[in-house]
Copies of this chain bind each other. A is one copy, B any other.
Amino acid sequence: MQFIDQSIELLKDNGYKITGPRVAVLNALATAHIPLSPYDIEERIPENIPVNVVTIYRVLDVFEQLGIVHRILTKHGYVRCDFEEKPGCHHFAICDRCEQVSEFVQKKECDTEMRIPSQCHFQSAGHFAEVTGLCEACSR
């Protein structure tokens, strides 16, 4: 599993420990196609090894700092970040009706940042773009 393995690498590289709760949250995120709230994630974790919501909050904080997840403003809020994109650049298509989210990868040039007017003197580190509209299923 690309996403899980790379996330674990990232945690190790930054001196974080690989714990049950962290792996459980990664598993929940890996299979999700819609944004998940901390409580959503709690529900998706097997009952035999429950993880406290407070812990999920803390795990997500770390994940967000490492760029493993990105939080968006839907009722449910965390989406996982693909690792195929240019670091720091993420593009999500969010369906206005069903809230399904898919990250689309911009293989070649992604020049959103190049387009910042030069007089802004803004030193960009990355970007998140949310495209809104209707997904294939909902537009029919």
Contacts and interface: CB of A to CB of B under 8 A. Distances in A.
B131 A113 contact: yes
> How many copies of this kind of chain does the complex include?
2
Contact size class for A? Answer: 35 or more
Interface string A123-140: 111111111111110010
B133 A122 contact: yes
Contact of A129 (B71, B123, B127, B134): B127
Contact of A132 (B93, B104, B126, B135): B126
A124 B139 CA distance: 10
Interface string A15-38: 000000000000000000000000
Nearest to A92: B127
A102 interface: yes
